[in-house]
Every structure is written in C-alpha cells, then in structure tokens.
A = this chain, B = another copy of it.
C-alpha cells in the first residue's frame, strides 16, 4: 500500500476556518511539515504530532523532506496557509513527487486569502476577477506588469497577493500607477491585513488613496471594477452589468 502525503490548505490559520477534510487529514498524519509561521498556526491544535519546519525560501527542501518521510512509510501532511493550490506547495509537491513512486499525494484545498479577505471587506469578488502576485522572485516584473495592464483594461476586479516586502516597498504604488492608466482614480479599493489572525485590520478607500498606503506581505489588496461600490462599511461588486 502506498503511503500518503496530504498537501493541506489550512485557510487563514484559526481552526474555525479549516474544513473538516483538512482537520481530518492533520489528525491522520503522524508528521506535519511546513514553513515555520504556518506550522506554528496549527501546532496548538495538534500538540502530539511531530512537526518539521523550514524557513522561508526553502520550499524545495521542505517538499523533499515531506516526500522522503512519506516514502519511508509515514503519513505526512504538508501545511500551507490559505489554499495549498493557490501560490501554495501543491504544485511543487506534484512536480517533485514524480520520483517518489511509493507516495500517494492528496491535495486538500483551503480558503484562499482572496476569499477570506473578501468576506472581511464585504463582497468585492462577486464577479469576474484576476489574482496577481506582485512578488517578482520567480516571475519577471514585465510579466506582472502585463497582467496588471490586461486585468485593469478588461475591467476585472483585481486581487493582489504579496503586495509588498522590505525589498519591494514601492511595488503597490507601481501597480496602482499601471491600473490608473485604465481605471478611474475614484475606483473603490480595499485591503485586509492579517486576515483571520491577531491584529486583523482592513480599510476601504479609493484607488488614488490606495496608491499612498503602506502595506506588508501579510496584506491582501482588492481593486474594484467599474461597478464596485461602497455600501455602508462594505466594498461590494454587483453581480452583473444591468
């Protein structure tokens, strides 16, 4: 019988945001592998499990540890924040997994930040949307720029992951400048920091105002389409163009 490696999306972090399927996968696992920050989010719920963590940018090593442990016969869970299939480890595990013939990989989806942050702001993603990461670690900035132009020109709601970091403190401003070539500066935007975690904050503002905001890598940003409105304290995109 093949041994099992679950690639589990845990959502924003709290157990209440996990699906029953994800909780069961972690329960069944003997070893939980993950990036230190995300592993710590679940450690308190599973104190008896063996945890193996690796720091940021050590994704390949992390996946190989998980695959090797599973190959040795252990039931293993690799945890990812949000959805394991959206900027998560599901892809790299499947790529590297080709060499580990005795391991059966099961992808367990979770609530991605686009969805959990949207619920905090109201309903910004009700209609067609594009998800773009501003991190240029693995993607040329030219490709990111092209996607920002295309998404803005075709009136998608745009959801930005990784909008900033120490080395890229002006990336959100650059992204807003590109979008402003296609969209009204009064377009309704919003962001949520630390979704579902301690210190959660959110704000709804115009595109012109968003351009001046300082955000961090734990922030998810939403740029409305031409129909998006502020209703009370909520950011809402209507379902269609009536």
Which residues of A come within 8 Å of B, CB atoms? 9, 11, 15-21, 23-24, 59, 83-88, 90-95, 98, 107-112, 115-116, 118-120, 122-133, 137-140, 143-144, 146-147, 149-151, 153-156, 231-232, 234, 236-242
Contact = CB atoms under 8 A, between A and B. Distances in A.
A193 to B, nearest CB: 17
A128 B133 contact: yes
Nearest to A136: B240
A73 to B, nearest CB: 21
6 contacts: A17-B21, A85-B123, A88-B123, A131-B131, A147-B156, A150-B154
A196 to B, nearest CB: 9
Contact of A236 (B24, B94, B129): B94
B17 A125 contact: no
Copy number of this protein in the oligomer? 2
Contact of A122 (B20, B94, B143, B156): B94
Nearest to A233: B94
A122 B154 contact: no
Name, among A19, A122, A149, the residue most crowded by chain B CB atoms within 10 Å (CB to CB).
A19
Given A18-B20, A232-B98, A238 B150 contact: no
Contacts of A19: 11, 16-19, 111
Contact of A147 (B110, B118, B128, B239): B128
Contacts of A237: 91
